[in-house]
Amino acid sequence: MKNQSSPPPESESPPSPSTLTKAVDIPLHRVGFLIDELTPTKVSGRLPITEICCQPFRVLHGGVSALVAEGLASVGAHMAGGLKRVAGIHLSINHVKSAHLGDLVYAEATPFSVRRTLQVWDVHLWKVDPSTMKKSLVSSARVTLVCNMPVPEYATDAGEALRKYAKL
């Protein structure tokens, strides 16, 4: 008789992009953004353009683009700064092309400068053609953040989702 052992326990599967985004940044989750990559050197994801994130003319609202830029840069700076508190102090964004209802937008934030007390991140949003995967720039932003601030007592768990899900 052959010795049958139980199969090895399955490792925990990675969270869905929706679950990950909700755990890391609720405002991004609320507009439908989905985080795909989460590291101290790159935060990226996608935004299906729905009525929630459109202005009345059925194009992506510029304020939503700004929210995505500040959100991704803040999450990245928080990780790059050792999970210390960060705060955005300047956002500059240029909207160069519209994204329409039904489009898919890909966004990526990367650090331009990471210093002890100040970080600058570049964020780009592209419209993606699903048939060719060709990207065309929608918005380009630069976000400046103060970093290395103490985490207040009421927010000591602010970095827990990043510790759990990010590639630190």
Q: In what order do the strands lie in the sheet with 34-39?
A: 34-39, 42-48, 104-114, 118-128, 135-149, 85-95
Which of the residues 70, 108, 153, 160 is marked catalytic? 70
Q: Which residues contact 137 (CB under 8 A, 6 or more apart)?
A: 96, 97, 124, 125, 126
Active site residue 108: no
Tell me the torsion sign for CA atoms 131, 133, 136, 138: positive
> Where in the sequence numbering do the catalytic residues fall?
70
